[in-house]
Amino acid sequence: MARYTGPVCRLCRREGMKLFLKGERCYTGKCAIDRRAYAPGQHGQARGKKPTDFGLQLREKQKARRIYGVMEKQFRSYFDEAARRKGVTGENLLSLLSRRLDNVVFELGFASSRPEARQLVSHGHFTINGKKVDIPSYSVRAGEVIAVKEGSKSSPRMKQLLENLGSRTVPGWLSLDANAASGTVVALPTREDIQLPIQEHLIVEKYSR
């Protein structure tokens, strides 16, 4: 299971916006994008040239990859799958990415960030319809119930997360039962349900070159 293991705050600085990869830290004054709002590296503060069309497309693709924590090869696989499906390719792509189990765990509030959600899923802390699933890329389906495993509810970190359930707005395609520490996939996500600053048409243009 390939994943990025470098410093994540520099990813936010490179994209020029908060990607919320560090959980609670992103909401404090320690956030790197608040302290150093310029690209990382030796020439980060230099005035850049006007980006080309390809540059804009590349940045949008990288932003989407980094938000969802997906490596290049896997991201391309998602795009190819989205292109094969009926409908708008860009919207299909975002829907497929949003249906990842680690993203759903984050959206329900069971983790403070997508990277933490990925780790919790990998460690087997969640069940789907009563069966343990430890694959972050698992694609959820309508009607499935994602729940915190009973044995995991007593862990200090999970207790802390469960105490704060409801602090984040749950998207309309999901429903949360805070008392049962579970959530249900009400419907598959549409573009209107995905409130992320991603211009998916630029990603489609990038791969269509």
- pLDDT tens sequence across 172-198: 999 999 999 999 999 999 999 998 889
Residue 199 included in any domain:
no
CA distances from 133 to 3, 88, 182, 204, 205 (A): 19, 30, 14, 31, 35
Residue 208 included in any domain:
no
Q: How many domains does the chain have?
A: 2
Residue 197 included in any domain:
no
> What tens digit of pLDDT does each residue of 65-77 get?
989 999 999 999 9
> Do β-strands 174-177 and 131-132 pair in parallel, antiparallel, or remain unpaired?
unpaired
Residue 31 included in any domain:
yes
> What tens digit of pLDDT does each residue of 49-101 get?
677 888 889 989 998 998 999 999 999 999 999 999 999 999 999 999 999 99
User: Domain boundary residue among 97, 114, 149?
Assistant: 97
CA distances from 48 to 9, 15, 35, 43, 126 (A): 20, 13, 20, 9, 45
Of residues 121 and 15, the one with the higher pLDDT is 121
* pTM to 2 decimal places: 0.81
Q: Which domain holds residue 56?
A: 8-97
Cα 145–Cα 151–Cα 152 angle in degrees, nearest 5: 75
Q: Reading across the β-sheet that carries 174-177, which strands appear in turn? A: 131-132, 126-128, 145-148, 182-185, 174-177
